[in-house]
Structure 1
Amino acid sequence: MLFPQPIKYTEAPKLMAVLKEEEGKVKIQEFPADSVSEKAGLKKDDIILALDDTKVESIDDVKIFLLYKKKGDTATVRVMRERFLLGPVEKTFTVKF
């Protein structure tokens, strides 16, 4: 009881993006160095709509989704991107963890 054995676990992969929650939407604020999301084509101010067809309405949705992924897995990320003068467009990217 005093010295329990350490529990081994595998760390869930990370999207490697700083996210901000605004009005039921999850927006990308910035990326750390060597971000897998940025390498996949995601950009600052993209709004994450879905991960593998799982609707995203909060940062918690992203965290829960990532719990079921392993290193080496991929995820399809659907985003809404604002375009200058042309309005928003929906784009899909594949992120490998």
Structure 2
Amino acid sequence: MEQEKWINSILNSTDGITQVTPNDLLFSKIQNKIKEQNVVSNKWIWIAAASFAVLFSLNFKVIFSESKKSNNDTEMLASSIYNSNQLY
């Protein structure tokens, strides 16, 4: 019973609070701050996208050209070391 009274008193503690009214110019100040922020032009976005595409394609080409060379080198090394298939 006492616990319910305590819960109700907590829930009803905001009954006497009056609502705060904001400053009349607050909305216009916020809008002006948003308009003042720098915007990146589409030109720079396309330049960045193109540079990422070039870097990705170069990395892709380097990775696959190196893997072909390393396979050939490994095969040549293995064939020169192992003259027979006997392990012991």
Which TM class, normalised by the smaller chain length? Answer: under 0.3
Higher-helix-fraction structure: 2
TM-score (norm 1): 0.15
Larger radius of gyration: 2
Q: Which has the higher contact order (CA 8 A, sep 6+)?
A: 1
Higher-strand-fraction structure: 1
TM-score (norm 2): 0.16
